[in-house]
Amino acid sequence: MTPRVLGLDGKSYPAQNSPQIRARLFSRVHYLRHTECLSLRQILDRVESEHGVRRSVGWVSGVLRTPCTWCVQVAQNRTPEQQDGGPI
């Protein structure tokens, strides 16, 4: 279960994650999308079951809009296995 904090408005909100946890979730979301070709909802279910972190579809969509190394290489018409535009 995700740790929760009580906001000033009396509502319960998820606690802030450390930068290391956010980076791990970022890479995990990209891995699930690129390698396993999961939908946004499937990614949400997997992240919640594996890491105990519950997030919205908008959060996953926002993470996927931020390019990772794989995204940049594909955008430059290279496969992720190629380095500097040449074969391995």
Q: Where along the chain do its domains lie? A: 18-88
- Distance, in Å, from the CA atom of 49 to the CA atom of 1, rounded to the nearest integer, reads 10
- Distance, in Å, from the CA atom of 66 to the CA atom of 34, rounded to the nearest integer, reads 13
* CA Rg value for the chain: 16
Q: What is the pLDDT of residues 17-61, one digit of tens each?
A: 788 888 899 999 999 998 898 999 999 999 989 988 888 899 999
> Are 46 and 53 spatial neighbours (Cβ–Cβ below 8 Å)?
no
pLDDT at 79: 60
> Are 73 and 79 spatial neighbours (Cβ–Cβ below 8 Å)?
yes
CA angle 19, 20, 23 (to 5 degrees): 85
Q: What is the pTM of this model?
A: 0.68
